[in-house]
Amino acid sequence: MRGLITNDWDRDNLNFLLNVKGDDFQAFWAQADADDRAYAQELMDAYSAELQLKAHELAIEAEMSLEYAEANQILEQFRLK
């Protein structure tokens, strides 16, 4: 599962991993077999890729907004409000 998470099943499982705490995580991990642990790692890797992509997009957006601040000010007067 390289790349981004594209289905609800995987997204729900990722949300579980991101939000489970303490004893609940310990219980999950204790009952998980090698396949479950590999799947959990794949989900975390895919989430990491999503975060990296979002960070890259935000960096581009921030760079563009700084480079084109003057142009945006001019265009603002023509935007519908």
**pLDDT tens, position by position, 15-74:** 999 999 999 999 999 999 999 999 999 999 999 999 999 999 998 888 877 777 777 788
The predicted pLDDT at position 3 comes to 62
pTM above 0.85, yes or no: no
Phi then psi for residue 44, to 5 deg, are: -65, -40
Contacts of 54 (CB under 8 A, 6+ apart): none
**Ramachandran category for residue 22: left, alpha or beta (phi over 0 → left; psi -120 to 50 → alpha):** left
pLDDT (0 to 100) of residue 8: 95
Residue 59's identity, in one-letter code, is A
The two tokens of residue 55 are: 């960070």
